[in-house]
Amino acid sequence: MPLPSLRRCAPLALSLCTLSVSFAAAAQEWKPGTPGVWGLGIGAGVERLPYTGIDNNKRLLPLLTYDSEYFRLSGLTADWKFARTEQFTFALRGKYALADGYKADDAPILYGMDERKAGFWVGGAATWNADFAKLSLEVLGDVSGNSKGTQARLGIERSFTAGRFVFTPRASLLWADKKYVNYYYGVTGAEATASRAAYDGKSTVNFQAGLRTAYVLDAHQSVFLDLSATALGKEIKDSPLVDKKTVPAVAIGYLYRF
């Protein structure tokens, strides 16, 4: 059975699909005084998509991570860590949002729409490993010239250990500016039809919550399950292309750390 197009996107996917984000988060982070840490694995994921009548996005992906003192790679996201302390890390981040965008034949509601392409995003990211939780912030701009938009994510997560299990609940606020929303969810006058009104998108904020559960098999191997749901902002829900309020996703995977 052929896999669905990877160009079908989850809402406000800041970089990668849920699967690669979950995999990267499950990987071992670099510790001062140690060499770089490689991770290799495979995973499968399913996302419900916001567009009316579009199929769920199903994926089976090989995934690669690397983390060292100055460089971090997780899937299609790369960080140059230009400043760090015991608790804080500041990085220049680049991402290719492979899953963003759609083609007109992806769903009936999109027939007659111009193709929306994935973007390459560049900006800054910061992480604070506080005693009570891990806080993160990223602000990125689309330098590919497709949406020409700006996105930001503010997140919090904390891990709890129970035997060989590691539970990591998380929550994020996901902001996208008018250009991003209008590009991926807007309808131009030339694209409007009797059943699809013209729509000029505006900036919005989505809320995402999730739980990642990892089971440690041994010093090098682990498996994980990630469940999440994204509540769409009003400006996305109001789009004539969208018929959902919440978008769930699930991912499972295996990771080997070298």
Q: Are 228 and 45 within 8 A, CB to CB?
A: no
Q: What is the pTM of this model?
A: 0.84
Strand residues in the chain grouped as ranges (E):
37-47, 57-67, 71-74, 77-84, 88-96, 120-129, 134-142, 150-157, 160-162, 165-176, 204-216, 221-231, 246-257
How many CB atoms lie under 10 A from the CB of residue 145?
9
Grouping H, G, I as helix, E, B as strand and the rest as coil, residue 249 is strand
Nearby residues of 228 by Cβ (< 8 Å), 6 or more positions away: 18, 208, 209, 210, 211, 248, 249, 250
Q: Could you tell me which residues are beta bridge partners of residue 79? A: 72, 93
Residue from 236, 232, 9 nearest 100 by CA? 9
Distance CA 10, CA 174 (A): 12
Confidence at residue 13, expressed as pLDDT on a 0 to 100 scale: 35
Per-residue tens of pLDDT for the chain, all 258 residues: 333 344 443 333 333 344 545 555 555 566 666 678 888 888 888 888 899 998 887 778 788 888 888 999 887 899 999 998 989 999 999 998 877 888 999 999 999 999 999 899 999 999 999 999 999 999 999 999 999 999 999 999 999 999 999 999 999 999 999 999 999 999 999 999 999 999 998 999 999 999 999 999 998 899 999 999 999 999 999 999 999 999 999 989 898 988
User: Length of the chain, please?
Assistant: 258
Q: Are 11 and 236 within 8 A, CB to CB?
A: yes
Q: Are 211 and 226 within 8 A, CB to CB?
A: yes
Nearby residues of 106 by Cβ (< 8 Å), 6 or more positions away: 5, 7, 8, 51, 54
- Vertex 143 angle, CA 199 and 209, to 5°: 65
Confidence at residue 28, expressed as pLDDT on a 0 to 100 scale: 55
Q: Are 212 and 224 within 8 A, CB to CB?
A: yes
Confidence at residue 9, expressed as pLDDT on a 0 to 100 scale: 39
Distance CA 79, CA 242 (A): 33
Confidence at residue 24, expressed as pLDDT on a 0 to 100 scale: 52
Q: Could you tell me which residues are beta bridge partners of residue 253? A: 43, 224
